[in-house]
């Protein structure tokens, strides 16, 4: 059951939501949570990479690989339980409890940094994964309870844009702060505590959000519960295939983000500053595309944007390969040398547009799942989608390792991903022709909508 909304009847732009209590406190809560996740992870990575070999007598490479696995493991094990909790209990109180947990986790992380304890840092990281797993279903399920249907795309666009900006800022801040000498480790732990406290303060203003299934008996078996929620999602083919499409984007994006450091170093011959620049450009593209979705969709859930997004994802993946297959390494070095290379500007445009078209692809899909899922099962369906996302991310690592081991270069891997994206899109749209019909109708409407 959806509680009465306090939103005004007159439509307004998405940025007006940032002034309203029904959206703004939640936005800043999730923004700070995403920033903290990435600040802590990157501070941990930098700490291990630069101090492990000399002080901790462990293999930095092994630890860095474990960091990603430990963080994502709770999504696999606990998402089904998290979805049930989000449906059973009032969401604003649940969010505040999760934020209190985050403060406790960051206290453990601070101790880990102060004591140079990799074990404590891994405990904090695993618990941070639990925190994010608990918050994930609430993050997307709460929006339909406070926003009108004509606000869902704009609200999701703001959340997606904010999330990627937070990821970028958190990643940069974590790496910069932990590298400060001589107290960087303490400062990194303190930064995590401050962000967690700020997130809790923001969460205190999230308005009451009624439980949608208060009588739900929680199933403690995550495997059977996951299958049950996947079965519920499959009852609605549009929701089910939208979930698959979102998970495919995580597969696609995970390959790009995982290979971006090596691509920067080996293909573009750039340093860590060039890598940070490319990561920032991708995040800016995602943010800009997310904010554009409301206008392009005329304030409704526009299925036509999804094929448009998938076309761009394939087109610019192919162009990254075309732009770099004969890349001249003579212009290698820092940002100045990278910008001076005329051919590199094509790569810059490709990276930005991959982010933009990725947003066109995902924002309507998230809004669609929120609007079309059964309200009593919405959080559980989103939790099941999170599990699919994690499986696709793990699968992307296997595919990347397999193709690179077979002799593919990184640009060729990007080309292969672009081709796979086109094949996946053909599969989805062949089974859901309404996406193609909506795309054709949207294309015909565009001249009138923008005149």
For 250-297, give the DSSP string.
Answer: HHHHHHHHHHHHHIIIIIS-B-HHHHHHHHHHHHHHHHHHHHHHHHHT
CATH of residue 64: 1.20.1250.20
pLDDT score at 134: 92
pLDDT score at 355: 94
Q: Are residue 153 and residue 224 in the same domain, yes or no?
A: no
pTM of the model: 0.83
**How many CB atoms within 10 Å of residue 301?**
23
Phi, psi dihedrals of residue 333, rounded to the nearest 5°: 130, -145
Q: Report the C-alpha gap between 261 and 223 in whole angstroms.
A: 35
pLDDT score at 7: 44
Asked if 368 and 428 touch (Cβ cutoff 8 Å), the reply is no
Q: Residue ranges of the chain with pLDDT lower than 50?
A: 1-9, 330, 449-451
Q: What is the pLDDT of residues 324-358, one digit of tens each?
A: 887 755 455 788 888 877 778 899 999 999 999 99
Q: Are residue 232 and residue 279 in the same domain, yes or no?
A: yes
pLDDT score at 332: 58
pLDDT score at 179: 84
Residue 249's contacts (CB-CB under 8 Å, 6 or more residues apart) are 313, 358, 361, 362
Q: Are residue 302 and residue 200 in the same domain, yes or no?
A: no
Residue 173's contacts (CB-CB under 8 Å, 6 or more residues apart) are 35, 39, 191
Q: Are residue 322 and residue 291 in the same domain, yes or no?
A: yes
Q: Which of 179, 205, 231 is the last residue of a domain?
A: 205
- Kind plus residue range of the DSSP H or E element containing 366: helix 344-372
pLDDT score at 220: 84
Q: Are residue 158 and residue 255 in the same domain, yes or no?
A: no
Q: Which of 145, 180, 205 is the last residue of a domain?
A: 205
Q: Are residue 152 and residue 243 in the same domain, yes or no?
A: no
Q: Report the C-alpha gap between 62 and 70 in whole angstroms.
A: 12
User: What is the domain extent for residue 375?
Assistant: 220-451
Q: Are residue 243 and residue 199 in the same domain, yes or no?
A: no
Q: Are residue 333 and residue 406 in the same domain, yes or no?
A: yes
Alpha-helical (H) ranges within 147-216 are: 152-178, 184-203
Determine, yes or no, domain membership for 349.
Answer: yes
Q: Which of 145, 170, 205 is the last residue of a domain?
A: 205
Q: Are residue 406 and residue 279 in the same domain, yes or no?
A: yes
Determine, yes or no, domain membership for 314.
Answer: yes
pLDDT score at 328: 59
Q: Are residue 167 and residue 235 in the same domain, yes or no?
A: no
Count of domains observed in the chain: 2
Strand partners, 333: 270
Q: Are residue 226 and residue 201 in the same domain, yes or no?
A: no
Q: Report the C-alpha gap between 359 and 158 in whole angstroms.
A: 11
């Amino acid at each position: 059951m959806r509680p009465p909304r306090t939103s005004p009847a007159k439509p307004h732009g998405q940025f007006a939501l940032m002034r309203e209590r029904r959206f703004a406190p939640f936005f800043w809560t999730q923004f700070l949570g995403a920033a903290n996740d990435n600040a802590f992870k990157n501070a941990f990575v930098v700490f291990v990479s630069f101090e492990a070999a000399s002080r901790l007598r462990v293999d930095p490479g092994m630890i860095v690989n474990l960091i990603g696995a430990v963080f994502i493991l709770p999504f696999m094990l606990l998402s089904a339980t998290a979805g049930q909790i989000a449906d059973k209990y009032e969401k604003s109180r649940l969010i505040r409890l999760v934020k209190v947990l985050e403060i406790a986790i960051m206290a453990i992380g601070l101790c880990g940094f102060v004591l140079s304890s990799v074990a404590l840092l891994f405990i904090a990281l695993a618990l941070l994964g639990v925190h994010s797993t608990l918050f994930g279903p609430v993050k997307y399920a709460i929006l339909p309870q406070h926003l009108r249907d004509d606000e869902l795309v704009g609200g999701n666009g703001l959340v997606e844009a904010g999330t990627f900006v937070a990821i970028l800022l958190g990643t940069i801040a974590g790496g910069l702060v932990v590298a400060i000498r001589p107290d960087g480790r303490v400062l990194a732990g303190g930064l995590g505590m401050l962000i967690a406290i700020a997130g809790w303060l923001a969460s205190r203003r999230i308005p009451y959000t009624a439980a949608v299934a208060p009588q739900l008996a929680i199933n403690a078996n995550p495997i059977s519960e996951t299958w049950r929620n996947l079965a519920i999602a499959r009852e609605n083919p549009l929701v089910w295939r939208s979930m698959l499409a979102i998970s495919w984007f995580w597969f696609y994006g995970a390959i790009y983000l995982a290979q971006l450091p090596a691509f920067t170093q080996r293909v573009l011959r750039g340093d860590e500053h060039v890598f940070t620049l490319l990561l920032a450009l991708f995040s800016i593209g995602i943010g800009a595309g997310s904010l554009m979705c409301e206008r392009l969709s005329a304030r409704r859930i526009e299925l036509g944007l999804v094929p448009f997004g998938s076309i761009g994802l394939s087109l610019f993946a192919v162009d990254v390969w075309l732009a770099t297959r004969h890349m001249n390494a003579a212009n290698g070095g820092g940002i100045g040398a990278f910008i001076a290379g005329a051919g590199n500007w094509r790569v810059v445009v490709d990276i930005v547009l991959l982010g933009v078209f990725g947003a066109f692809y995902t924002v309507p899909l998230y809004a669609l799942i929120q609007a079309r899922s059964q309200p009593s099962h919405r959080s559980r369906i989103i939790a099941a989608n999170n599990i699919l996302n994690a499986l696709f991310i793990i699968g992307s690592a296997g595919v990347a390792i397999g193709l690179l081991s077979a002799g593919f270069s990184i640009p060729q891997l990007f080309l292969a991903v672009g081709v796979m994206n086109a094949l996946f899109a053909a599969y989805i749209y062949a089974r859901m022709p309404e996406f193609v019909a909506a795309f054709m109708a949207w294309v015909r409407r565009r001249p009138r909508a923008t005149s």
